[in-house]
């Protein structure tokens, strides 16, 4: 049995590819999205109870290998997976889509975390398109002089910026629609999630010459890494 720590498009693609090859798979979702897109095969929802709880799950379910295909900013589960794999001597692969790279015409600024992004933001614009996820919104809640167009999948909990408009939507997004939204703002704030599903906003920002404030990915441990689903499939099959 292979455990996929999921919640991403790559995780769903991997579950489908392995199931097609008759490799038994269980996909684990954190349960933070109200209506998640479910992968094929067996699915469990919810946390494990830290690295020790995950290690217990690996032992009890005789997991032969783990693929961490969570979001690039899912730091906690990533760290827990590393520790649990060490405790149980279970092979672990990190499936991580490449980050975005600037191209000609891009006006990008980088922040190490959301707090630094909030400090940099007032110098970049007064009207902000904020797509950094609902859990990070409190980092911007004190910026009363700015107006925010906030996009999330699910309704966020307070605190939120005082002056804001909320859009609830799930990607993928089209460039034309992103261009319309960005026409209302001065600056785009997002995380370096990578991938094509939400990259249309970067194309639209380039076309409109709007600056982008990107939050760098957190550092991960030296876990073996695959950049694509086919690479991850080969890794699993060789196990």
Residues 140 and 199 in one domain: yes
CB 237 within 8 A of CB 211: no
DSSP class of residue 10 equals H
Instruction: Say whether the peptide bond before residue 115 is cis (omega within 30 degrees of 0).
Output: no
CATH of the domain at 149: 3.40.50.720
Question: Strand, helix or coil at 29?
Answer: strand
Residue 224 has pLDDT above 80, yes or no: yes
Other Cβ atoms within 10 Å of 205 Cβ, number: 24
Residue 90 has pLDDT above 80, yes or no: yes
Residues 90 and 31 in one domain: yes
Please tell me the least confidently modeled range out of 71-75, 124-128, 179-183, 228-232: 71-75
What is the end-to-end Cα distance of the chain in Å, rounded?
A: 11
Residues 137 and 91 in one domain: no
What pTM was estimated for this model as a whole?
0.88
Q: How confident is the model at residue 33 (pLDDT cuts 50, 70, 90)?
A: low
Asked if residue 102 is part of any domain, the answer here is no
CB 218 within 8 A of CB 84: no
Asked if residue 72 is part of any domain, the answer here is yes
Give pLDDT, residue 197.
Answer: 83
Give the chain's domain count: 2
Asked if residue 103 is part of any domain, the answer here is no
Percentage with pLDDT > 70 across the chain = 99
Residues 24 and 55 in one domain: yes
Question: Strand, helix or coil at 77?
Answer: helix
Residues 71 and 129 in one domain: no
Residue 162 has pLDDT above 90, yes or no: yes
Residues 10 and 88 in one domain: yes
Give pLDDT, residue 124.
Answer: 98
Q: How confident is the model at residue 223 (pLDDT cuts 50, 70, 90)?
A: confident
Radius of gyration of the chain from Cα atoms? 19
Domain span including residue 34 = 2-97+219-237
């Amino acid at each position: 049995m292979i455990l996929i720590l999921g919640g991403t498009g790559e995780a769903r693609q991997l579950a489908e590819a392995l199931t097609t090859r008759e490799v038994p798979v269980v996909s684990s979702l954190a349960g933070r999205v109200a209506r998640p897109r479910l992968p094929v095969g067996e699915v469990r929802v919810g946390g494990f109870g830290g690295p020790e709880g995950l290690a217990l799950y690996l032992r009890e379910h005789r997991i032969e290998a783990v693929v961490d295909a969570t979001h690039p900013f899912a730091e906690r589960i990533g760290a827990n997976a590393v520790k649990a794999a060490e405790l149980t001597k279970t092979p672990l692969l990190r499936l991580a889509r490449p980050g975005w790279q600037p191209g000609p015409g891009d006006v990008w600024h980088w922040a190490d975390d959301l707090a630094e992004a909030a400090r940099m933001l007032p110098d970049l614009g007064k009207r902000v398109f904020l797509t950094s996820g609902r859990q990070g919104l409190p980092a911007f809640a004190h910026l009363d002089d700015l107006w925010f167009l906030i996009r999330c999948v699910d309704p966020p909990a307070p605190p939120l910026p005082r002056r804001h408009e909320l859009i609830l939507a799930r990607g993928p997004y089209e460039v034309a629609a992103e261009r319309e939204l960005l026409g209302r703002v001065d600056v785009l704030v997002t995380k370096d999630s990578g991938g094509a599903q939400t990259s249309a906003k970067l194309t639209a920002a380039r076309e409109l010459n709007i600056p982008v404030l990107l939050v760098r990915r957190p550092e991960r441990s030296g876990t073996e890494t695959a950049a694509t689903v086919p690479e991850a499939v080969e890794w699993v099959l060789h196990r």
